[in-house]
Amino acid sequence: MISTAILEQLKKEETPLYYYDLPLLRATISAAKAAADQWGFHIHYAVKANNNPRILQEISTLGLGADCVSGLEIETAIAHGFQAKSIVFAGVGKTEKEIRVALSQGILAFNVESLEELQVIDAIAREMETHASVALRINPNIDANTHHYITTGLDENKFGIMMHELEDCLTLIHSNESALALVGLHFHVGSQITDWTVFKRLCLKVNEWNTWFIERGIVVPILNVGGGVGINYKNPDGEAIVDFANFFALFHRFLEPKPGQQVHFELGRSLVANCGSLISRVLYIKKGVNKNFAILDAGMTELLRPALYQAYHQIQRLEQGELPVEATEKYEVVGPICESSDCFGKNVELPVLVRGELVAIRSAGAYGEVMSSRYNLRQPLQFYFEE
Ligand SMILES: *Cc1c(COP(=O)(O)O)cnc(C)c1O
C-alpha cells in the first residue's frame, strides 16, 4: 500500500515511474529465506524477473544465490554482490562467450539443456584448462503412468535434455578426458503456478529421476527444483507475501533427497512481484460510444505483460477519500502507444478519474521493468525507492 505521505512525494515526480517498496522486498526475501533455512534448502534468485541494481543489492545482501540466463546477468549479479559460487546458469541458447564468462567466474553450475551444449561446455572448459560443473535439466512434464524416458511430448519442448540424448550425456560426462563434473539434476515446471499440487507432482517426479540416477551409481549433490511459485495478482495488499513456510514444507514433505543431497530453488516472481508498482498519470478521459477510456502516460513500453499475455494487474486510483465510494465508473485503461494491444484492463471499475491523477498498476515488480522498451522513443524509466 502506498501511504499518503509517499503519494505526496510521488505527485511531484515525473511519470511513468517504477515505485519499489524496499521494506516489502526485504520482508519477502527474509520470509522466503527463513522458511527455506528451516529445511536447509537453498534459494537462487531468478535475476531475469528484475535486474534493477537496487533490487539485486538488497537480495544479495540477504544471502540468496542467483539464477542467471545470460552472461551479462552473471556479471551483473556478481557486480551487485552475489557470490559467483552461488550462481546457476540456465537457458537453451548459451553462447560460447557466455560459457567462457561463466567458467572464468567459477559459477556453481550450468543447467545444461542439450547434448551439443554439453559438448561445447566440455570443449571450452578443456581449452581453458578448468572444470565445468553441470546439472542436467530434465523435463518433468511427463505422464506419471508412463515410463520416464520413453514418453512422447517431451520431444516437442525446447527445454531440457531430450531423453534419447541422456545416455550420451552421461557417457560424455564420465569419459576420461571430460572436463565436466555432474553436480545436479535440474527441473523447472513453469511460471505463475498457483495450484500447488503441481509442486507435489514435481517432487514425486524428482524422486523417480533421482532413483533412476542412483540405480546407475550416480548420486548428484544438488537437486534443483526450479521456481514458478505464483503470486496473487488480485489481492496484492491482502496477500503481499507468498506463504513460503507452506511452500517449502511441501517440498520437505514430498521430496526425498538422499543423505548429502542439497535441495535448491530458483525463485523469481514470488520474491519481487509485489514490491513494485508502475505509477502513471491519467492523461485524458475519453468518452467512447459504449465505454470510457482512461488514457495513461504509461503503456506497454513500461509494462508489457498485459499486452503480451493478457496478464491481469490490479489498477488503483491513488488519491483516496475525496469522492464518495459509490462514485465509480468503468474504464478501459489504456496506454499512449500506437498499438491496440496497449491496454492494461477492460471494464476496470475505479473511482471517477480526472486528468492529472495518479494511478498505480500493482504487482509490477517481476517481469515489468526488465521487459520495458524504448518503442515509440519513450522516455527512460523513472524510479522511486521507498527506503
Ligand atoms: C524463469 C525461470 C525461473 C523463475 O521463474 P519464476 O516463475 O519467476 O519463479 C526459474 N528457473 C528457470 C529455469 C527459469 O527459466
Q: What is the pLDDT of residues 155-200, one digit of tens each?
A: 567 788 988 899 999 999 999 999 999 999 999 988 899 999 989 9
- Return the closest-CA partner of residue 252 out of 200, 213, 287: 200
| 243 in a structural domain | yes
Task: Check whether residue 167 and residue 198 sit in a common domain.
Answer: yes
CA distances from 84 to 41, 106, 221, 288 (A): 18, 6, 18, 55
Task: Check whether residue 38 and residue 181 sit in a common domain.
Answer: yes
42 CA to middle of ligand 1, Å?
Answer: 15
| 333 in a structural domain | yes
Regarding the beta carbon of 368 and ligand 1, being less than 6 Å apart is answered: no
Which of 138, 266, 275, 370 most suits a substitution to test ligand 1, by most atoms within 8 Å of the C-beta? 266
Task: Check whether residue 168 and residue 304 sit in a common domain.
Answer: no
Mean pLDDT of 94-121: 98
The phi-psi region of residue 141 (left if phi > 0; otherwise alpha if psi is between -120 and 50; otherwise beta) is beta
Which of 169, 203, 275, 338 does the annotation list as catalytic?
338
Residue 97 lies in domain: 22-271
Structural domain ending residue among the three candidates 271, 303, 329: 271
- Return the closest-CA partner of residue 19 out of 372, 379, 362, 373: 362
Peptide bond into 140 cis (omega under 30): no
366 CA to middle of ligand 1, Å?
Answer: 11
What is the pLDDT, as a whole number, of residue 159?
82
Instruction: Note the pTM of the prediction, 2 decimals.
Output: 0.95
Mean pLDDT score of the chain, rounded to an integer? 93
Regarding the beta carbon of 137 and ligand 1, being less than 6 Å apart is answered: no
Task: Check whether residue 266 and residue 280 sit in a common domain.
Answer: no
Contacts of 198 (CB under 8 A, 6+ apart): 189, 190
| 370 in a structural domain | yes
Q: Percent of the chain at pLDDT above 90? A: 87
Gap between the Cα atoms of 92 and 188, Å rounded: 13
Contact (CB, 8 A) for 81 and 57? yes
| 1 in a structural domain | no
What is the pLDDT, as a whole number, of residue 319?
84
| 118 in a structural domain | yes
User: How many distinct structural domains can be found in the chain?
Assistant: 2
343 is catalytic: no
Gap between the Cα atoms of 198 and 321, Å rounded: 42
Structural domain ending residue among the three candidates 247, 271, 295: 271
| 264 in a structural domain | yes
Regarding the beta carbon of 71 and ligand 1, being less than 6 Å apart is answered: no
What is the pLDDT, as a whole number, of residue 1?
77
Structural domain ending residue among the three candidates 271, 300, 333: 271
Which of 43, 47, 55, 67 most suits a substitution to test ligand 1, by most atoms within 8 Å of the C-beta? 67
338: number of CA atoms within 13 Å, CB side? 5
| 51 in a structural domain | yes
| 3 in a structural domain | no
Mean pLDDT of 76-101: 97
Task: Check whether residue 263 and residue 280 sit in a common domain.
Answer: no
